[in-house]
Amino acid sequence: MRLTILVVCILTQLSSIYGQTSLKDINLQHGKYEVGFQHYTVIDSTRTYRIRNDYNNQLISRPVPISIWYPANIQNGVSKQLTVLDYLEVLKEEEEWKDLPNAWLLDWFPYLWNTPQNKAHLSESVTAFSNTSFSEGKFPVVVYAASYQASSIENFALFEYLASNGYVVISSPSRGTDTRWLEGGTAKDMETQSRDVELLLKELYSYENSNPNKIALMGFSFGGLSNAITAMKNKNIRAIVSLDGTERYNYPVLEKSPYFSLDRLDIPYIHFAQKEIPKAVLTSDKIPAELNYKFQLYDSITYSDAHSYRFHDLSHSYFSSYGVLFANRDKRQDKSDAKIMVSYKLLAEHTLQFLNATLKNDEKAKTFIENSPEENGFNESLISKKMKKSLDKPFDYKNFNDLAFSQDYQDLIPLYQKTKAKHPTLELKEGMLNTLGLHLSFNPSTKKQGIHVLLLAVHIYPKSANLYDSLAEVYLYKKDIQNAITNFKKSLELNPNNENALLKLKQLKD
């Protein structure tokens, strides 16, 4: 009866036992907010899609299911506390088996397994409620990319924990370009998921309680690839959280993206990795031994503060709520349920600390993230870490323009002199200054700012006839005739063949 799908995993579990866990035993200490949950579908009319299970050629606009968790106000008699089964109803819809009887759930989908322990999970209450309103305020946002062909709710326990601590978490399933199925973890799959993540970024603007200026990306497994590419494309992202992300295991796929650029990955990055894979498992499952130690993205990052943690009691599957609750245990390498749950809790807590440090600028959280695990009270047998600090990016004309903009283009010559002393390689090219000065000058609301830019330009390039000609034109546009004449004359001194200056001076005399 079980539905067969292609699952890309780091490990296959050939020898397994059933886990015995519960949400209560994970023991996450939730924050001060109640948690609301909504699930709905938006339509991306720019892409086509086919429902695979219909077995026809009918195309529809691409449906993108969305799950969102948020700080909420609970309404007595209206809000309903959800159960694990409610989340699995979302799974059915995203897997395009909405009408599947619930009695078949654990038999039908891979990774759930019909065991007494898993049946007991279905009735467990979760933290989230339906039919709630947003708590008052603006909350930072976590946009989640699911693992290979996985559901938007695969990490619901972590999402609820973050929402209870003042975050909005928004997620969509990992699905293929043309149908539900991915191609096998290809660059095309990665780009499709990245585009879905970008749709979620757009969706955030429909929630007035989300803060679009404080966004982190988080992804598990395959979702780590698409998040890295999304951050390289979108400069509004403030941080990345990778839950044993595949950017560590399949770096060549990352490099195939036309958007790949390490220079553009310049935000804080944290990667939580699985335990070291035993040699016997590497051999029997034909896994490259280098996966235990090689991490090309981390090694290549230059302009990000990068943190790499290893959880010594977590195999790959247990970086998701699904894995902790439903996955069969691999006797060859998995630790006890108790150790798995302790480590999953630590994973959630470290994720929160990193988000608090990067999105909320919390000083205690910053210290926590900068510390070693031992300094934070954790034994090195449980968790280990390496970290490297970002190098300063070269200071260029865009950075200078940001400084100039911040002071409304006033006092530009002293600003340039001070900045040049600090960054000797800074070069403000003549053409850039000329274009910017004219662009600002012909805008009625920024005329003065434009003149300041051109005055800086002639300070740097005092022998440029063209710059003095532009400055004269701007003064003429302002009807400042005397300054226009002065600068046209200066332009002619530098270039006696400047026909524009000759013509304008003749017109001004007439």
How far is Cα 229 from Cα 247, in angstroms, rounded to an integer? 10
pLDDT tens sequence across 80-120: 999 999 999 999 999 999 999 999 999 998 778 899 999 99
Determine phi and psi for 26, rounding to 5 degrees.
-65, -35
pLDDT confidence of residue 17: 64
Nearest to 16 by CA among 98, 126, 118, 103: 118
Residue 136: Cβ within 10 Å count: 8
Confidence band for 1, pLDDT divided at 50, 70 and 90: very low
How far is Cα 219 from Cα 354, in angstroms, rounded to an integer? 14
Helix (H, G, I), strand (E, B) or coil at 193: helix
DSSP per residue, 336-347: -HHHHHHHHHHH
pLDDT tens sequence across 9-66: 433 344 456 667 889 899 999 999 999 999 999 999 999 999 977 788 899 999 999 9
How far is Cα 118 from Cα 344, in angstroms, rounded to an integer? 18
pLDDT tens sequence across 380-406: 899 999 999 998 888 899 999 999 999
Q: Which is it for strands 383-388 and 329-330: parallel, antiparallel or unpaired?
A: unpaired
171-193: average pLDDT: 96
* Both tokens assigned to 348: 């959630």
pLDDT tens sequence across 226-278: 999 999 999 999 999 999 999 999 999 999 999 999 999 999 999 999 999 99
How far is Cα 412 from Cα 464, in angstroms, rounded to an integer? 18
Contact criterion met (CB below 8 Å) for 385 and 310: yes
- Give me the chain's average pLDDT, please: 93
Contact criterion met (CB below 8 Å) for 347 and 378: no
Contact criterion met (CB below 8 Å) for 434 and 397: no
Confidence band for 194, pLDDT divided at 50, 70 and 90: very high
